[in-house]
Structure 1
Amino acid sequence: MLAFIWAEDQNHLIGQNGHLPWSLPADLHYLKQTTLNSTIVMGAKTFQSFPNGALPQRKNLVLSHEPQKFSNEKNIQVANSKVQLQKLFAHDSRVFIFGGPALFQMFLSEVQYLYVTQITAQFVGDTWMIPIDYSQFELIKRTQGTVDKVNLWPHEFLLYRRKNLEI
């Protein structure tokens, strides 16, 4: 299974200066629960946005044109091309693309599932999700998120499956 996982605002914004433009603990919990014991794939900037390095209980793969920059990082594997990256996850059953946009674009024709946290708000930022033709996907699950004192914005968790996907 190859999936994208991301959170976005109403305008498909996903980032600001290498970080999320919002604080939404429910989304981080969802991300963790969804990706535990799986392989996660990200670009160098996405990895560098993690405050504590590699995410635990996951196989962390990073795509970078400068792999030597990550030689001191623990618990990650670094690839410098799509082909090399695919070799690193070829035998993994659950692979989640975390971003950024270039990595989403790279795997757009191959992605099977889309895990989207849709936040009903608008934020300021500098990075947007790539355009996706949702007519190629079917919505198979929608879960309303809870708004409370720490999750301030209405949000929902959406799961799409590519149409005509052999299950």
Structure 2
Amino acid sequence: MITMIAAAAENNALGKDNDLVWHLPNDFKRFKQLTTGHFIIMGRKTFESFPKLLPNRTHVIITRQKDYQPENTIVVNSLEKALEVSKEDKQPFIIGGGEIYKLGLDVADAIELTRVHGTVEADTFFPEIDESKWDLVKEEFHPKDERHDFDFSYLTYHRK
């Protein structure tokens, strides 16, 4: 099962200037819980936005750059190759960014989306989810609080 995981505002905003536009500690915890032990597939810019490798995950980076090879990562030049090298994982995760999510929408079986209730300025966006192709199977609302600047909901979609 191929799963896309993202946090996106109501206008599908993901980030700006290669960074997130909100701080949601519980969403980070959920991301860690779901992706630990799995292959995580991402574009180069998403990888470069991390301060360091995410522990206990296999990093698969998609880039067109020929000589790009960060230590302890797998580098490929297409989503198809990324999925091929991730075959041993029963649930690889596509973690961004915007261009990789667009490609992933055609191959994913599930989407774990944190919908941030608000509209923010961004330069990277999550693709529109076509409700005729996806079933919302789980929804869990979380109000904003002293640690979270926005209300947000965890949404789980499965391909119809």
Compare 3-12 and 83-92 and name the one that shifted more.
83-92
Task: Tell me by how many angstroms 1:114 deviates.
Answer: 0.6
1:112 partnered with 2:109? yes
Matches within 5 A, 1:58-137: 58-69=57-68, 71=69, 73-137=70-134
Task: Tell me by how many angstroms 1:102 deviates.
Answer: 1.6
- Determine the C-alpha separation between the residues in 2 that align with 1:11 and 1:80: 29
- Contact map agreement 2:14 2:98 (CA 8 A) in 1: no
Aligned to 2:26: 26
Alignment RMSD (CA, Å)? 1.4
1:151 partnered with 2:148? yes
- Determine the C-alpha separation between the residues in 2 that align with 1:106 and 1:68: 23
- Determine the C-alpha separation between the residues in 2 that align with 1:68 and 1:102: 21
Corresponding residue SS for 2:37: coil
What is the count of residue pairs matched by the alignment?
160
Corresponding residue SS for 2:101: helix
Task: Tell me by how many angstroms 1:84 deviates.
Answer: 2.5
TM-score where L is the length of structure 2 = 0.93
TM-score where L is the length of structure 1 = 0.89
Task: Tell me by how many angstroms 1:39 deviates.
Answer: 1.0
Aligned to 1:56: 55
Corresponding residue SS for 1:152: coil
Corresponding residue SS for 1:122: coil
1:36 partnered with 2:36? yes
Structure 1: gaps (5+ residues): none
* 1:61-108 C-alpha deviation (Å, 9 max, x unpaired): 000111423x3x232111122343222112210111011122122222
1:17 is matched by which residue type in structure 2? D
Identical-pair percentage: 30
- Determine the C-alpha separation between the residues in 2 that align with 1:97 and 1:119: 19
Aligned to 1:17: 17
Aligned to 1:47: 47
- Determine the C-alpha separation between the residues in 2 that align with 1:39 and 1:162: 20
Aligned to 1:8: 8
